[in-house]
Amino acid sequence: MKNMMFSKIEKVIFVLIFCLVIGSRGLTPILAVGIKIDNEEIKKIQEEIQNKEKNIKNLENQKEIYEEKIKIKRKEAGNLNEELSLLSNKINKREIEIETQEEKIKKADLFIKRIQIETIRKKKEMEDAKNDLKELLIAINGYDQKSYLEIIFLNASLSDIFNHLRYLNVVQGKVSRNIQRIATVKDALEVQENNLRQERQNIINLKTELNGQKIQLTSEKEINQLLLNETRGAEWKFQSLLAEIITEQQNTENEIADLERQAREKIAAEKGKRIKDMEKEGTIVFSWPVPFEKITSPFHDPDYPFRNWIGEHSGTDMRAKQGTLVRAAASGYVARAKNGGVGGYSYIMIIHNNSFSTVYGHVSKILVKENQYVKRGEVIGWSGGTPGTPGAGRFCTGPHLHFEVRLNGIPVNAEDYLL
């Protein structure tokens, strides 16, 4: 009976020693080989990431060169050759921006690949730590079934008793360290998963921006080609075209100013339901007329392609696909709903309280009538802006909504009032 008990305790001690040996070795040979392979793969990925970063840096330097050229050409623009040169530099800059975005996407893909490898390794480490803990707990459980008196009587010498107790303390310490190890790996996994989510969102944002830049590039090339087609390389034709565009812009500006004045006089004369409806708005805060994607040309944009021809950009261009629903930015009365047809410029003008008005330009379809009262968020038309389509006008910069906020008839920065 005694020999059998000794045999059982020796088995427990063997398990303890086995666990301690495993702990002292750290990793099994198979796992060590796997980690070595992972490390080599991660090192290779990191080298590729560094190459992408170098490429991005070089592209950004090239972009800066084109930006300087554009600044110079912008001051010189006024004749056909200079205008074509300016457009050419803008196209080159846009192509560089597209290539940069593509490199950033590839870099983000590499980050995701590295995170996935590290995550798999962390999960394996977690599993190994759990298995080690399980072995240790089984061993401790075997010891817990024996009282300290049993250990004393079952061992031949005092040194054996101390050895058993010492092994038990060591194993308990090992359990504590393994629990801490599991907690640490778990925290690291949460960080990795969060990093993975961020990189995936980063790729979505980069691809959205890339698509927008490709649309802008197409538009800039179309403007360049349109200018060549309209002038056929003749300076006098360019100057004639320029005069037409300036006249058209001035006529539109005068029309908007006159219409606002007339509309406000009419509203003031009625002094009835209109005034009450307008007063309900209180302090004006404007909603986005189209779902926000990106502002492609801000108020008084120095890069506005027609700045040298017709002056400062009076509105805020918002990226929107052809046919996107356009909504009233605030409640008010439609003062103008002009349909310019295929070759002309179509826009909607709404009069609000507190001397504010809004203009929605390049609309491809108008869904309201003049003198109609509209509420905030009500659909008033479809966006347009694609060259050659209804409502786009002679020159435009691709599909977007041209949105203006005017105070006392004077254009102001819409971004200061948008909610």
The candidate with the shortest Cα–Cα distance to 298, out of 322, 285, 314, 311, is: 314
pLDDT band at 353 (very low <50, low <70, confident <90, very high): confident
User: Residue 270 corresponds to which amino acid?
Assistant: E
- HSE-CB for 330 with a 13 A CA cutoff: 29
Least confident stretch, 227-236, 303-312, 326-335, 376-385: 303-312
Residue 299: HSE in the Cβ half-sphere, 13 Å Cα cutoff: 14
Of these ranges, 34-38, 155-159, 307-311, 406-410, the one predicted with the greatest mean pLDDT is 406-410
Q: What is the DSSP string of 344-397?
A: SB-EEEEE-STTEEEEEES-SEE---TT-EE-TT-EEEE-B--TTSTTB-SS--
CATH superfamily of 235-416: Glucose Permease (Domain IIA) (2.70.70.10)
Identify the band that residue 347 occupies on the pLDDT scale cut at 50, 70 and 90: very high
pLDDT band at 140 (very low <50, low <70, confident <90, very high): low
Q: Residue 352: is its pLDDT beyond 80?
A: yes
Mean pLDDT of the 45-50 span: 92
Beta pairing partners, 156: none
Q: Where are the domains of the chain?
A: 2-230, 235-416
Sign of the dihedral through C-alpha 304, 298, 363, 250: negative
Question: In the prediction, which pLDDT does 241 show?
Answer: 75
Q: Which tokens hold the place of 361?
A: 């330009």
Taking residues 330-352, what's their average pLDDT? 91
- Which of 32-41, 72-81, 92-101, 228-237 shows the highest mean pLDDT? 92-101
| pLDDT at residue 185, as a whole number | 77
Average pLDDT over residues 117-126: 84
pLDDT for the residue numbered 378: 96
> Could you tell me which of 252, 278, 250 has the C-alpha nearest to residue 263?
278
